[in-house]
């Protein structure tokens, strides 16, 4: 991040300085009082369970340069009327000066991995700025623009926790390309149904310029036709079907790690090596190739660049546990993503056994039982021999899997993480174990994750 001063920040936020000199430099932003505060700017966020204003004095004592606050606090601060609006104004002003491609990415699953693939596919243009991790909220997404320097493209992930949120993010991101990975179940309780999720995700595509914007969507999505006809811009697709503009023709896991894909985009064949596994990640890579070519990268350069994608941990990450291999995909879970992960176990043809540790899928609302039953059906059709289940809702996984042919003795219902550890400790040499569940469960604590 380039050198910033609190005075410049206040001006761009539309705020006023209190107890801090305009020339005071700062080195970044923080939203958590437990993080390193020295020479940073702290966002006093009014949350459901905590109010950042209450921590202003503590972060000041920890060396914070200033606090951005909506009311006076006992710390050097920038006072704004509304934090969300001020951050949008800050980001929007910086966006005004950028002329390169700006890609917005949303979807019920695969957003972060797709974002990383897209950043890699755009890298032949020059440095691509992207959200670190999954910082995709109305508070964290605007901060990305403070890091804009000599970048040639920007890729921003957009989270959805209710109607209007993506529209708000798009109001200052002003994407030139919009990607919707899928219409699934994540955060369905916030919008009531998959229909609601469709409406919320459409906010991204509807923000695109009708003349110059490009929408990128999954051809096999249940909502594809509605996404296509609802978008005001040109629509490009990716998938396994012959109708997709970018068609994935083959996928193969590599024995030494990663995978290979091959396909064709607008009549041009391509091959690419991916640093992760899973047929669903072949789709995510396909989305990235469509974006790269739309932004002016050749298909061959974009495909070659996918090798260097920086996939974050806990997403189809292979780790060792004793003599077994664990496929750690515990960042979060929704019905489609769990089904994809289960199907990925079939790639490990050399495995002694395929096993699974599955945690509940939260935030599904009224769709919880059917979502868990969807996973049960996938289990019954898979190579999985033994399953450990943990958390509310997983009873439906077992019930549906048994209804579809699995045996009761193939399941362990765990009361706590210790039961899951015991399940993992009984694995045999050559076993492959899927570890998948909602983020709140912290299933990664069951294994040693490489730093």
Q: What is the DSSP string of 236-302?
A: EEEESSTT-SEEEEEEEE-TTSSEEEEEEETTEEEEEEESS--HHHHHHHHHHHHHHHHTT--HHHH
Q: How much is the pLDDT for 449?
A: 87
CA atoms in the 13 A half-sphere facing the CB of 391:
21
Tens digits of residue pLDDT in 118-164: 999 999 999 999 998 778 899 999 999 999 999 999 999 998 989 99
Q: How much is the pLDDT for 256?
A: 83
Residue 438 has pLDDT above 90, yes or no: yes
Same-domain check for residues 340 and 369: yes
Find out whether 207 and 175 touch, Cβ atoms under 8 Å. Answer: yes
CA angle in degrees (0–180, nearest 5) for 260-247-236 = 125
Same-domain check for residues 417 and 339: yes
133-149 as b/e: b if 16+ CB within 10 A: ebbbbbbbbbbbbbbbe
pLDDT bucket at 450, cuts 50 / 70 / 90: confident
pLDDT bucket at 414, cuts 50 / 70 / 90: very high
Residue 447 has pLDDT above 90, yes or no: yes
Same-domain check for residues 119 and 249: yes
Tens digits of residue pLDDT in 57-108: 999 999 999 999 999 999 999 999 999 999 999 999 999 999 999 999 999 9
**Average of per-residue pLDDT across 415-436:** 96
**Domain C-terminal end among 308, 341, 364:** 308
3-state DSSP assignment of residue 336: helix
What single DSSP character describes residue 313? Answer: T
21 inside domain: yes
C-alpha distances in Å from residue 173, one per residue of 102, 165, 215, 368, 371: 8, 12, 15, 33, 33
- Model confidence, pTM: 0.94
Q: How much is the pLDDT for 346?
A: 94
Same-domain check for residues 57 and 138: no
Of 377, 299, 372, 381, give the one whose Cα is nearest residue 121: 299
CATH number at residue 47: 3.40.1390.10
C-alpha distances in Å from residue 232, one per residue of 168, 203, 204: 18, 11, 11
Same-domain check for residues 29 and 120: no
The residue with tokens 């769990």 is: 338
pLDDT bucket at 190, cuts 50 / 70 / 90: confident
99 inside domain: yes
Query: What is the 3-state composition of the chain as percent helix, strand, coil, each rounded to the nearest 5?
Result: 40, 25, 40
Q: How much is the pLDDT for 393?
A: 93
Q: Where are the alpha helices (DSSP H) in 295-347?
A: 299-305, 335-344
Q: How much is the pLDDT for 27?
A: 93
d(CA 102, CA 1): 19
Where is 30: in which H helix or E strand? strand 29-30
d(CA 296, CA 383): 42
**Domain C-terminal end among 257, 289, 308:** 308
CATH number at residue 150: 3.40.1190.10
pLDDT bucket at 322, cuts 50 / 70 / 90: very high
d(CA 109, CA 310): 17
Residue 189 has pLDDT above 90, yes or no: no
The number of residues in the chain equals 451
Same-domain check for residues 240 and 256: yes
Q: How much is the pLDDT for 305?
A: 98
**Average of per-residue pLDDT across 229-243:** 97
Cβ neighbours around 253 below 10 Å, total: 19
Q: How much is the pLDDT for 12?
A: 98
Same-domain check for residues 51 and 96: no
For the stretch 407-412, contacts whose Cβ atoms lie closer than 8 Å and that sit 24 or more positions apart, written own/partner, are 410/385, 410/386, 411/386, 411/387, 412/386, 412/387, 412/388
Same-domain check for residues 210 and 123: yes
Same-domain check for residues 102 and 229: yes
Q: How much is the pLDDT for 135?
A: 83
190 inside domain: yes
Identify the domain containing residue 399 by its residue range.
317-446
Q: How much is the pLDDT for 134?
A: 72
348 inside domain: yes
451 inside domain: no
Same-domain check for residues 169 and 192: yes
3-state DSSP assignment of residue 156: strand
Mean pLDDT of the chain: 96
Same-domain check for residues 198 and 294: yes
Query: Residue 374: CB partners within 8 Å, gap ≥ 6?
Result: 335, 339, 400
Listed range (22-26, 107-111, 179-183) with the worst mean pLDDT: 107-111
358 inside domain: yes
CATH number at residue 406: 3.90.190.20
Counted domains in the chain: 3
148 inside domain: yes
**Domain C-terminal end among 52, 81, 110:** 81
Find out whether 84 and 172 touch, Cβ atoms under 8 Å. Answer: no
């Amino acid at each position: 991040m380039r050198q910033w001063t609190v005075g410049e920040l206040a001006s761009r936020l539309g705020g006023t300085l209190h107890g801090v000199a305009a020339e005071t430099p700062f080195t970044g932003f923080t939203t958590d009082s437990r993080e390193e505060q020295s020479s940073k700017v702290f966002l006093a966020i009014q949350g459901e369970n905590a109010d950042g204003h209450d921590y202003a004095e503590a972060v000041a004592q920890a060396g914070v340069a200033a606090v951005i606050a909506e009311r006076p606090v006992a710390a050097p601060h920038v006072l704004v009327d509304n934090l969300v609006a001020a951050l949008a104004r800050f980001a929007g002003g910086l966006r005004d000066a950028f002329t390169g491609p700006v890609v917005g990415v949303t979807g019920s699953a695969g957003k972060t991995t797709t974002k990383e693939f897209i950043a890699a596919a755009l890298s032949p243009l020059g440095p691509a700025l992207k959200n670190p991790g999954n910082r995709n909220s109305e508070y964290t997404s605007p901060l990305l623009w403070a890091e804009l320097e000599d970048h040639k493209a920007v890729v921003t992930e957009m989270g959805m926790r209710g109607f209007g949120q993506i529209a708000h993010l798009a109001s200052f991101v002003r994407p030139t390309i919009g990607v919707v990975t899928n219409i699934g179940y994540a955060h369905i309780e916030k919008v009531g149904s998959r229909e609601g999720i469709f409406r919320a995700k459409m906010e991204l595509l509807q923000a695109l310029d009708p003349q110059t914007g490009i929408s990128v969507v999954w051809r096999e999505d249940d909502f594809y036709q509605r996404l296509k006809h609802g978008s005001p811009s040109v629509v490009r697709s990716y998938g396994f079907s012959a109708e997709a503009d970018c068609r994935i023709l083959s996928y193969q896991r590599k024995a030494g790690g990663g995978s290979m894909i091959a396909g064709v985009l607008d009549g041009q064949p391509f091959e690419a090596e991916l640093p992760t596994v899973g047929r669903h990640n072949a789709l995510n890579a396909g989305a990235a190739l469509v974006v790269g070519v739309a932004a002016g990268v050749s298909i061959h350069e974009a495909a070659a660049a996918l090798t260097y994608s920086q996939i974050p941990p806990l997403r189809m990450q292979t780790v060792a546990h004793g003599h077994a291999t664990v496929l750690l995909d515990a960042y979060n879970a929704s019905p489609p993503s769990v089904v994809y992960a289960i199907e990925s176990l079939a790639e490990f043809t050399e495995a002694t056994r395929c096993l699974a540790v599955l945690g509940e899928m939260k935030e599904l609302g009224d769709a919880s039982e059917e979502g868990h039953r969807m996973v049960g059906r996938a289990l019954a059709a898979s190579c999985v021999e033994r399953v450990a289940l943990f958390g509310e809702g997983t009873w439906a996984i077992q019930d549906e899997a048994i209804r579809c042919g699995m045996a009761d003795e193939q399941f362990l219902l765990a009361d706590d993480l210790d039961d899951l550890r015991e399940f993992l400790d009984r694995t045999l040499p050559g076993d492959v174990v899927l570890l998948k569940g909602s983020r709140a469960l912290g299933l990664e604590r069951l294994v040693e994750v490489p730093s």
